[in-house]
Amino acid sequence: MTKSILLVGVGGQGTILASKILTTGLMEAGYDVKMSEIHGMSQRGGSVSSQVRYGEKVYSPVIEKGAADMVVAFEKMEALRSLDYLKDGGTLVVNNEEIPSQSVVIGEEAYPADVLEEIRRHVDQVKVVDASGMAQKLGNEKAANMVLLGTIIHAMGLEQIHWDAILKDNIKPKFLELNQKAIQMGMGAVRE
């Protein structure tokens, strides 16, 4: 069976690196893997998404609405925006972070206060994680993406893959330990 994971966030949050490590791990573990990215104007604060699909043989790199086994949102509003990708009974992980958009900054729109409530109203399997806070505790807020990668590894049962080796190939030695710890923390956060 082909599995589908959708990673969504805002430009600059590190979704691309997280999905790169994820897909490399899946390939090394012997899966067929496809990933599709839409990052049109990501550097300028737009929404970004990475669609990852793996299994024995993967056809489409694109995930259909209502077909994601897991959605990992690096930001709350992006979680809501992608809710219709989640399949019935799928797992949703939301980073408890709020990034205002341009329309909010210039006062055109207000960021609704009850985003998480709206999500919980519809999804049973939702885990809110303070990934940025955890990463900060480890010494670098930027590692929030690895905390969120950790949640995927646990939720999708991918612990047997040699993540440390893959991290070594993709991350500067200086940040290696930080990232390893961040992944562990993420795994722990969804285990509870």
Please report, as ranges, the residues that interact with ligand SF4 according to CB under 6 A.
43-44
Residue linked to tokens 């690196």: 17
Whichever of 12 and 188 has its CB closer to ligand SF4, that residue is 12
Instruction: Enter the tokens of residue 82.
Output: 């992608």
CA separation for the pair 68, 64 (Å, rounded): 7
Tell me which amino acid residue 27 is.
M
| Least Å from the CB of residue 41 to ligand SF4 | 8
| Least Å from the CB of residue 153 to another protein | 18
User: Choosing among another protein, ligand SF4, none, which partner's interface includes residue 102 (Cβ < 5 to 8 Å by kind)?
Assistant: another protein
Instruction: Enter the tokens of residue 144.
Output: 């929030």
Q: What is the DSSP letter of 124?
A: S
Chain Cα centroid distance, residue 71: 7
**Binding to another protein in span 122-151, by CB under 8 A:** 122-123
Please give the backbone phi and psi of residue 51, each rounded to the nearest 5 degrees, phi first. Answer: -110, 125
Whichever of 123 and 148 has its CB closer to another protein, that residue is 123
Instruction: Enter the tokens of residue 39.
Output: 């990052």
Q: Is the dihedral of CA 85, 91, 94, 95 positive or negative?
A: negative
User: Choosing among another protein, ligand SF4, none, which partner's interface includes residue 125 (Cβ < 5 to 8 Å by kind)?
Assistant: none
| Least Å from the CB of residue 155 to another protein | 18
| Residues that bind another protein in the complex, under the rule CB under 8 A | 10-11, 23-24, 27, 32-47, 58-62, 64-67, 77-78, 80-81, 83-88, 100-112, 114-115, 118-119, 121-123
